[in-house]
């Protein structure tokens, strides 16, 4: 059974269409990623699926319930966690979880045992008496997740939950998500981190409210047209600027201290790179073919789409 199903789901705000005819399904027990830059429509999609906002047109079902006709039933079946989850800084870890248990109507019988399991699950047991306001960013995210899970939801919605969290805490957070998958919890997560998208069972690339690619990470990578040349130069920013002037802005991207070039003809591109950097007196340390990352694919597909649209 599909845990989530959307059929031409659309949301417009005046003349702006934030979500444009999204159609997809998410299987029960799957982790599905919605990936896109700021303003792509990720948060609006999340609000439509969690019955916080009504669509302008189209339909969606979550846990078998329609987002309009059965909105209250959906809210009983899901857990949600936004970028700014509503923790109360002057309450302790235990008090925050207890507060959300009250909101969700968790029975008193067995509640203490359930909370103890959540604390152990999220590695928060040693901090149960600490005020939420005194937790680190990563620990606040774990507490937010524990609060969202206190009523044992069937579907968990996470809107960029690791935004601004340090890499170690992000890794720990994903370890917890994988544990949830073993319990058949369906996870729908939006993220701007492409390395996180690699961890999803399937994902959808979202740009300007439209899905421009969907599938497993490996399937999405097959959308890449051309191959990737990775260039290491002494001054990568200057090298990027010079190469963009010759090869085109949509073909050249800076990824940390490496320059990535998308090209259908790597031999010709290699000669052009060597010539451009030699003329600019920029030392070339290395140049090699590499497999595309999701970030390469996303940047390339969006750039090509915007170029076709003339923007």
**Contact between 19 and 57 (Cβ < 8 Å):** no
Same domain, 102 and 251: no
pLDDT, residue 85, reads 66
Least confident range from 54-68, 122-136, 247-261: namely: 247-261
Q: Indicate the residue among 182, 201, 219 that finishes a domain.
A: 219
Inside any domain, residue 213 = yes
Same domain, 214 and 231: no
pLDDT digits (tens, 9 = 90+) for 227-252: 999 999 989 999 999 999 988 877 89
Q: Indicate the residue among 192, 219, 246 that finishes a domain.
A: 219
pLDDT digits (tens, 9 = 90+) for 45-101: 999 999 999 999 999 999 999 999 999 999 899 999 887 667 899 999 999 999 999
pLDDT, residue 74, reads 95
Same domain, 241 and 121: no
pLDDT, residue 33, reads 96
Q: How many residues does the chain have?
A: 311
Cβ contacts of residue 113 below 8 Å, gap of 6+?
Answer: none
**Contact between 241 and 280 (Cβ < 8 Å):** no
Q: Indicate the residue among 159, 187, 219 that finishes a domain.
A: 219
Inside any domain, residue 65 = yes
pLDDT, residue 214, reads 95
CATH value at residue 42: 3.40.50.300
pLDDT, residue 216, reads 96
Same domain, 252 and 206: no
**Contact between 33 and 190 (Cβ < 8 Å):** yes
Same domain, 232 and 160: no
**Contact between 266 and 198 (Cβ < 8 Å):** no
Inside any domain, residue 120 = yes
Inside any domain, residue 161 = yes
Same domain, 205 and 237: no
CA-nearest of 114, 59, 50 to 82 is 50
Q: Residue 241 is part of which domain span?
A: 227-291
pLDDT, residue 280, reads 93
Cβ contacts of residue 239 below 8 Å, gap of 6+?
Answer: 231, 233, 259, 277, 280, 282
Same domain, 31 and 178: yes
What band does 288 get if pLDDT is binned at 50, 70 and 90?
Answer: very high
Inside any domain, residue 297 = no
Same domain, 9 and 127: yes
pLDDT, residue 253, reads 86
Same domain, 76 and 178: yes
Same domain, 60 and 23: yes
What band does 308 get if pLDDT is binned at 50, 70 and 90?
Answer: low
What band does 311 get if pLDDT is binned at 50, 70 and 90?
Answer: low
Same domain, 197 and 235: no
pLDDT, residue 300, reads 78
**Contact between 263 and 253 (Cβ < 8 Å):** no
Biggest CA–CA distance in the chain, Å, is 75
Question: 191 burial class (0-12, 13-18, 19+ CB within 10 angstroms)?
Answer: buried
Least confident range from 26-40, 124-138, 249-263: namely: 249-263
Inside any domain, residue 299 = no
Determine what percent of the chain is predicted with pLDDT higher than 70: 97
More confident residue, 1 or 45: 45
Same domain, 212 and 232: no
**Contact between 104 and 151 (Cβ < 8 Å):** yes
Inside any domain, residue 31 = yes
């Amino acid at each position: 059974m599909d845990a989530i199903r959307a059929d031409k789901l659309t949301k417009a705000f005046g003349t702006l269409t934030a979500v444009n005819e999204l159609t997809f399904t998410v299987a029960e027990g799957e982790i599905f990623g919605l990936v896109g830059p700021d303003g792509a429509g990720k948060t609006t999609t999340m609000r439509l699926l969690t019955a916080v906002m009504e669509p302008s047109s189209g339909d969606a079902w979550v846990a078998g319930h329609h987002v309009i006709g059965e909105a209250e039933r959906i809210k009983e079946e899901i857990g949600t966690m936004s970028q700014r989850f509503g923790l109360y800084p002057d309450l302790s870890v235990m008090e925050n979880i207890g507060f959300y248990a009250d909101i969700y109507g968790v029975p008193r019988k067995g509640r203490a045992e359930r909370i103890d399991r959540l604390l152990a699950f999220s590695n928060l047991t040693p901090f149960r008496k600490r005020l939420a306001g005194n937790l680190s960013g990563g620990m606040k995210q774990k507490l937010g997740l524990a609060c969202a899970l206190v009523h044992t939801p069937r579907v968990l919605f996470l809107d960029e939950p690791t935004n601004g969290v340090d890499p170690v805490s992000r890794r720990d957070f994903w370890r917890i998500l994988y544990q949830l998958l073993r319990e058949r919890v369906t996870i729908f997560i939006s993220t701007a981190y492409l390395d996180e998208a690699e961890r999803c069972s399937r994902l959808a690339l979202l740009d300007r409210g439209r899905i421009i690619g969907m599938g497993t990470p490996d399937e999405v990578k097959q959308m890449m047209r051309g191959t990737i040349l990775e260039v290491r130069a002494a001054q990568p920013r200057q090298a990027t600027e010079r190469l963009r002037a010759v090869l085109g802005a949509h073909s050249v991207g800076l990824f940390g201290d490496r320059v990535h070039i998308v090209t259908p003809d790597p031999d010709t591109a290699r000669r052009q790179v060597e010539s451009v950097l030699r003329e600019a007196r920029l030392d070339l340390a290395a140049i090699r073919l590499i497999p595309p990352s999701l970030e390469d694919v996303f940047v390339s597909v969006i750039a090509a789409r915007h170029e076709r649209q003339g923007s």
